[in-house]
Amino acid sequence: MNEKIENILTTWHKHFEDEANQYSEFEASDVEYFVGCMLYNHFAFSKAHHNLKTMDLSYDFLSSCGEYYEDFEKEIASINFENEEQALAFLHEYIQTSKAKYTKPELYLLERMEYHVNAMAERYTKDVEVKKVDFENPLLKK
């Protein structure tokens, strides 16, 4: 994983070890999810659906993440690739590495992000523009 991202994750995990910094329903995997959101937002994928151009960072996270946010936002902004496909591959690898750290019950947010990223990756592969997003439950498709 990218050294800058590792530093951000380590710092925020250490910050949230103190229960006084945690918000209601905090899960350790939230850190990876919100860093993933920051990466997603930074890369500004052109094949993202218009209402998924950005992923919201929750107020709970933003109000609890300490004084680090602006510096980490700059760190993430310094991660650049030649094209969107490379950025997408980086984000996909980030999600896979992050998911490997947690058990199934802790993966809800990361899997939600992965679902959107995988759908977007398919649009890149097939070189299609998004017209609508299929919000069917992926578990029902199995």
% of the chain beyond a pLDDT of 90: 68
pLDDT of 136 strictly over 90? no
Q: How many Cα atoms within 13 Å fall on the side-chain side of residue 32?
A: 25
**pLDDT tens by residue, 21-76:** 999 989 999 999 999 999 999 998 887 777 677 888 888 999 999 999 999 999 99
Give the C-alpha separation, 137 to 67, whole Å. 37
Residue 129: which pLDDT band, with cuts at 50, 70 and 90? confident
pLDDT of 135 strictly over 60? no
**pLDDT tens by residue, 70-123:** 999 999 999 999 999 999 999 999 999 999 999 999 999 999 999 989 988 888
Q: Which pLDDT score is estimated for 113? A: 92
Q: In the numeric block, which tokens belong to residue 43?
A: 């890369």
Contact 41, 73 (CB under 8 A): no
Q: Which pLDDT score is estimated for 6? A: 96
Q: pTM of the prediction? A: 0.85
Q: Which pLDDT score is estimated for 139? A: 55
Give the C-alpha separation, 91 to 116, whole Å. 11
**For residue 59, which phi and psi values (nearest 5 degrees)?**
-60, -40
Q: In the numeric block, which tokens belong to residue 45?
A: 């994928």
